[in-house]
Amino acid sequence: MSSRRDTAERLRRLMATEGDAVAQNTRTVNQLSDYAIQGFDDYEDLRDAAREIKESAIEHLPELIDEVTEAVEANGGQVHVAQTAADANRIVESIMADREAEKLVKSKSMTTEEIDVNDHLEDEGYEVVETDLGEYVIQIADEAPSHLIGPAMHRTPEDIADLFNSEFDLAEDLSGDPNELTEFARERVGKHIREADVGMTGANFVVAESGTLMLVTNEGNARKTAVTPDTHVAVAGIEKLVPSLADLQPFTELIARTGTGQDITSYVSLLTPPVDSPIPDFEADEMRPADDRAFHLVLLDNGRMGMREDDDLRETLYCIRCGACSNACSNFQAVGGHGFGGETYTGGIGTGWEAGVHDLDSAGEMNDLCTGCSRCEPKCPVEIDIPWINTVVRDRINHQGEGDDFDFLVEGLTPDEEPAGLDLQKRLFGNVETLAKVGSLAPGLSNAVAGSRAGKWVLEQAFGVDPRRDLPEFADETLREWYGARGAQVSDPDRDVVLYPDVYTDYFDPDRGKAAVRVLEALGVRVHIPAVPESGRAPISQGMIDTARDQAEAVHGALVTHIDDGRDVVVIEPSDLAMFRRDYEHLLPERSAERLAENTYDVLEYAYGLLDNGADGDALDVPGDDGDAGVAYHSHCQQRTMDVDEYTESVLSDLGYSVRTSDVECCGMAGSFGYKSEYYEVSMDVGEHLHDDLGDIEERALVASGTSCQEQLDVLYEREVPHPVELIAPQ
Amino acid sequence: MSSESLSTFESSVPGPVHRTTAADADATLSEAIEEPAVGTALPYDEVSLADAVDTDPSPSALETAATGVTPAALGIADYGTVTIPSGAAGDELVSLYTPRHVAVVAASDIVPDMPTAYERLGEDFAAGMDTQILATGPSATADMGTLVQGVHGPSETHVVVLEDR
């Protein structure tokens, strides 16, 4: 694994060279995809259906392989099951030799990137030409694809023109006009297709009962590649199999909406090869009969059967490689797939693929760029829990770690369940609660040390905390100390709730906790603030699953008696709410997880519910003469994924505030991510985008729900950014 | 097919839609076709392609044609999609290699949505018509920095709807 400094340098370089093109392209497609999904009522139903089809197909994979083999052979084609990339390449090479072929044209296929078939064939003396224009560009540039479906999305038209101008001896240089570039590439590629002996495609899906391939494309190159040469070789991962033609319907309606933001692509080819089309022989200028067609389906295992047996990686096999998770990812938008990518695959789901078909090292290069913000999840057409896959892979990498000189020291200080070799930076951030407890014993001293040059030097050298960040400062009095002295101030409560004292609110920012207490009391609720452990968010974000599980069990133990007593649990910090509502399903027995999920609420979601049920909101602070009616609100990423951000907006609007919201997926801070020296600049790049998106908010109050969003916005706007509950708390 | 499906289809198709009847099909087709044209036989009663349309094109005729005309097995109203069955007559090549594709669809073959389309496709596939392209508008790419229409497939697509077929 490269050093933090090398990583920072590599990402800085990528942001400088490819960042602008990647940002523009991913954000545009992400927005188009939002529109396409919003306008499609069947989206959630079809995702459920798609998920079920994939789950069942992977479960029955061995039978489907037998079935498709029979179907393809009955159609007159051949099926080859390749255990490894090398097997697949040998099979393709022998097909080339048998057909006495010299030139192979290819349509876009990540699976063929996975096996590096181009390199293999070229080493054996064959000519290979990519026909997708993006792939054609990166083939000439000798680069890896930077995105699952937009392989050259990191390049601007001007870059591409420069590339073509230096590669080809042109009478007149190309200018960078996309129309001109497209025409130029089309002519070149078109000639190769007409001359080719073999056409190679991938497959988005393979129908076992009929041997039908589904190819989803816009350019038309896959159609030409499949039908023009007399020999068609399709290379597909075994996970592409579905039982029947009817199973393709949900995917036909989903894949473009999530992938490109179209309702449907220009072409969805349903080919049952060998096809009946005559073979155009451009050289002899005659049509040859379709009987001369040959078809080979190469089904690639290359680790997939192992993934199928792996309870945590199995979901990866449901992926239809639409790339939506990349476009929705703030970090991907900043660095692109050459940063957020492994040997072959890119983006959030890429980690699962790399770990499954390559190895943990390849997955490790990209894994930490997933902050678990979860914004990819609603965009995944097959409902894959992509953050969880990244967490599991991180946990496995942690357990692979080597020893370190500091281990004896830290091992004694930290209470976690993780191995001795764990990266110290992860151990620091994963054990934030212990640190907070120690630090708050003498808050003044801790703040002075952490803020001092010497303190920052130690934090950077030993733990990779970027010195350009200020760590949050300990409050003089914790929320629980304050509340213990103050006590409940509701005499005849309508309800009793537990206010969850998250580490940040309790130790660093008790003001937002006090505001939450005042709001709840104003709405007739009696508040209890018992001692409850850290939710496990801190360790889970570092891939410390065993530690997170211990925390989850302890939290459950601390809260369940309150829930038994009829108390709801109100949560200020969205990332902790996301633990209770979503992540605990991975950590606790099903019933325990459900119990917590059903009884925990975001603080303003709860306020909304109380107001909606007739609570008197007169005591809440409404916009007054002090000109605070205008509010800019950045909701927390995980809050959005849980669809609870809308309650904050509603409460504020109903009280008379005029609310402007941000559209960016994440603030860039994402818990500990923005503190890490290797990622500080990525974090700031993402933050700048949020700054641009919010625009001029000089006249508005700026509020944010998440701790780390507040910290990031503090820096970006150089002003204190409170939680929205502080805005409406009775004065 | 309901009249609702037809009007939805008409508004969803990205490109010109020509509504016509079997009796007026000749005139409508000649409007939609730019010569030289290649095509595959139309399976609708009392509708045929003009003699000027080459239905047995050589590869070079295919490459130089301005228009390709083929029947469509289905129209899918929600998406403005037509399905092009590709058989031995060469529909796939004719609809792919020419800069303009004219798809001819019977109004009775227009279905409202994708689930209904897949029911029909299931029947077609079982009957041996087991290669079809769901085509929606011209070929396109965004790989060169912005959306460009007309890449390896047609840059222009027309749909002719036979209202009485």
For chain B, domain boundaries: 3-162
Of A721, A712, A706, which is closest to residue A668 (Cα–Cα)? A712
3-state secondary structure at position A323 = coil
Residue A432, pLDDT score: 83
Contacts with A179 from chain B: Cβ below 8 Å? 144, 148
Q: What average pLDDT does the structure give for chain A?
A: 93
Contacts with A271 from chain B: Cβ below 8 Å? 131
Q: Do the chains contact at A272 and B146, CB–CB below 8 Å?
A: no
For residues A174-197, give the mean pLDDT. 94
Please state whether the peptide bond connecting residue B36 to the residue before it is cis, i.e. omega within 30 degrees of 0. Answer: yes
- CA–CA separation, A143 and A132 (whole Å): 14
Q: What is the DSSP string of A413-438?
A: H------TT--HHHHHHHTHHHHHHH
Q: Do the chains contact at B140 and A266, CB–CB below 8 Å?
A: yes
- Which residues between 223 and 262 in chain A have a beta carbon less than 8 angstroms from any beta carbon of chain B? 223-224, 227, 245-246, 248-249, 252-253, 260
- Which residues between 258 and 277 in chain A have a beta carbon less than 8 angstroms from any beta carbon of chain B? 260, 263-273, 275-277
- CA–CA separation, A125 and A542 (whole Å): 47
Bridge partners, B133 (sequence order): A269, B84
- Categorize the per-residue pLDDT at A414 as very low, low, confident or very high, splitting at 50, 70 and 90: low
Q: Which residue of B has its CA nearest to A136?
A: B143
Q: Identify the CATH number of the domain defined by range A4-304.
A: 3.40.50.10420
- Output the CA–CA distances (angstroms, integers) from residue A444 to A396, A440, A460, A474, B100, in the order listed: 38, 8, 21, 8, 76
Q: Do the chains contact at B122 and A287, CB–CB below 8 Å?
A: no
**In chain A, where the domains are located:** 4-304, 479-728
Q: Output the CA torsion sign for A26, A31, A32, A36.
A: positive
- Helices A248-259, B114-126: axis angle to 10 degrees equals 130
Residue B100, pLDDT score: 97
Q: Do the chains contact at A218 and B141, CB–CB below 8 Å?
A: yes
- Categorize the per-residue pLDDT at A193 as very low, low, confident or very high, splitting at 50, 70 and 90: very high
* C-alpha distance across the termini of chain B, in Å: 11
Q: Which residue of B has its CA nearest to A229?
A: B93
Residue A415, pLDDT score: 66
Give the gap in angstroms from C-alpha B165 to the nearest C-alpha of chain A: 25
Count of CB contacts below 8 A, A vs B? 167
Q: Do the chains contact at B153 and A266, CB–CB below 8 Å?
A: yes
**Residue-wise pLDDT tens digits, A426-473:** 888 888 888 888 888 888 878 887 778 878 877 788 788 898 888 888
Q: Do the chains contact at B62 and A160, CB–CB below 8 Å?
A: no
Q: Do the chains contact at A182 and B90, CB–CB below 8 Å?
A: no
For residues A372-383, give the mean pLDDT. 97
| CB-based contact A354:A345 (threshold 8 Å) | yes
Q: In what order do the strands lie in the sheet with B67-71?
A: B17-20, B156-162, B100-106, B67-71, B37-39, B53-54
- Candidate from A182, A224, A253 with C-beta closest to B144: A182
pLDDT at A407 over 60: no
- What would the two tokens of residue A540 be? 């889970």
Q: Do the chains contact at A267 and B121, CB–CB below 8 Å?
A: no
**Residue-wise pLDDT tens digits, A251-273:** 999 999 999 999 999 999 999 99
pLDDT at A280 over 80: yes
pLDDT at A411 over 60: no
- Categorize the per-residue pLDDT at A409 as very low, low, confident or very high, splitting at 50, 70 and 90: very low
- Categorize the per-residue pLDDT at A408 as very low, low, confident or very high, splitting at 50, 70 and 90: very low
Q: Which residue of B has its CA nearest to A160?
A: B144
- Categorize the per-residue pLDDT at A422 as very low, low, confident or very high, splitting at 50, 70 and 90: confident
Does residue A200 or residue A425 have the better pLDDT?
A200
Q: Does A527 touch chain B (CB under 8 A)?
A: no
pLDDT at A388 over 60: yes
* Complex ipTM: 0.98
- Which residues between 124 and 153 in chain B have a beta carbon less than 8 angstroms from any beta carbon of chain A? 125, 130-146, 148, 150-153
For residues A279-285, give the mean pLDDT. 96
**Residue-wise pLDDT tens digits, A640-656:** 999 999 999 999 999 99
Q: In what order do the strands lie in the sheet with A205-207?
A: A241-242, A205-207, A212-217, A267-271, B132-135, B81-85, B74-76, B110-111
| CB-based contact A642:A577 (threshold 8 Å) | yes
**Residue-wise pLDDT tens digits, A532-552:** 999 999 999 999 999 999 999
3-state secondary structure at position A527 = strand
Give the gap in angstroms from C-alpha A164 to the nearest C-alpha of chain B: 12
- Output the CA–CA distances (angstroms, integers) from residue A243 to A71, A247, A313, A333, A457, in the order listed: 12, 7, 22, 36, 59
pLDDT at A1 over 50: no
Q: Do the chains contact at A266 and B132, CB–CB below 8 Å?
A: no
Residue A401, pLDDT score: 59
Residue A626, pLDDT score: 65
Contacts with B57 from chain A: Cβ below 8 Å? 287
- Categorize the per-residue pLDDT at A342 as very low, low, confident or very high, splitting at 50, 70 and 90: very high
Q: Do the chains contact at B136 and A285, CB–CB below 8 Å?
A: no
Topology of domain B3-162, CATH? Rossmann fold (3.40.50)
User: Residues near A640 by Cβ (< 8 Å), separated by ≥ 6?
Assistant: A375, A665
Of A485, A475, A504, which is closest to residue A723 (Cα–Cα)? A504
CB atoms within 10 A of CB A721: 20
